[in-house]
Amino acid sequence: MPSVAVVIPAAGQSSRFGGLEKKPFVSLDGRPVWQRSAELFWNRPDVSRVYLVLSPDDRADFRARFGHLIAFANVELVDGGAERFESVANALARVPSGVELIAVHDAVRPLGTPALIDAVFGAAAEHGAALLAVPVADTLKRVDAATNRVVGTTPRTGLWQAQTPQVFRRDWLLDAYARRADVPQPVTDDAQLVEAAGYPVVVVPGSATNFKITTRDDLSLAELILKARTGSREADQPPVRFDDEAKW
């Protein structure tokens, strides 16, 4: 497996989340959301380094609150920019030239699994670019923003909802970022830039549980999923057996 650098942008404003704390820094079943996302990668033997991108305004507070969590982890902090793509570009500039693949993963998408990551890493190694995604299941409506009236229905055949990680050959991603000013706005993910640069991107089936935390309801649902996973792992353990003569 080629070496992979992982970029995790966490410099956004969390404007839709509400509250005084930004989404990546809130607790999710005892650990901050950013950590649950980062630790999906930082112990993998194929990951060269995790680049966590923070707003410069958050760096001092982050170090005070979470510095002990990355003291011995394979994580490097990077200053973010005004926009998400500036933040990712800052991290790309830090990735050594010997790294073959670069993955970009949302800091607030903490419920990925090793199997999903294995699959998308493997697809990117084979094809050059890959992302996790799930087929759109619901009916899609176009709505007038001023009146909230439905103005059309979009056929969902062939439509997939993009997830992360999204993984690319390093040279492809750098070329796509070098040409990002030529791409019509808005650009909503890194795969869009790579597609616009003319490189093929393949889809790897993701999971409905690999969602991004956007609202407080999402956070509550993520906690339920984590607790269910923990309970399932405990149920899979063999029962503890004691010697018949043991006294308790």
**pLDDT at residue 185 in the model:** 87
- Going 20 to 23 to 25 to 26, the CA torsion angle's sign is positive
Please tell me the distance from the alpha carbon of residue 91 to that of residue 173, in angstroms, as a whole number: 12
Q: State how far the Cα of 15 lies from the Cα of 30, in Å rounded to an integer.
A: 23
Rounded to the nearest 5°, which phi and psi values hold at 75? -130, 135
Give yes or no for a contact between 22 and 12, defined as CB atoms under 8 angstroms apart: yes
Interval 25-70: pLDDT, tens = 999 999 999 999 999 999 999 999 999 999 999 999 999 999 999 9
* Residue 158 backbone dihedrals phi, psi, to 5 degrees: 80, 0
**Residue-range domain boundaries for the chain:** 4-236
Q: What is the C-alpha R_g of the chain?
A: 20
For residue 248, the model assigns a pLDDT of 29
In our burial notation (b when 16+ CB lie closer than 10 A, e otherwise), range 208-244 reads ebbbbbeeeeebeebeeebeeeeeeeeeeeeeeeeee
Task: Quote the CA–CA distance of 51 and 78 in Å, as a whole number.
Answer: 7
CB 218 within 8 A of CB 109: no
Contact call for residues 131 and 191 (beta carbons, < 8 A):
yes
Residues of the chain under the 50 pLDDT cut: 240-248
**Contact in structure between 209 and 222 (CB atoms under 8 Å):** no
* Top-tier CATH class for 4-236: alpha beta
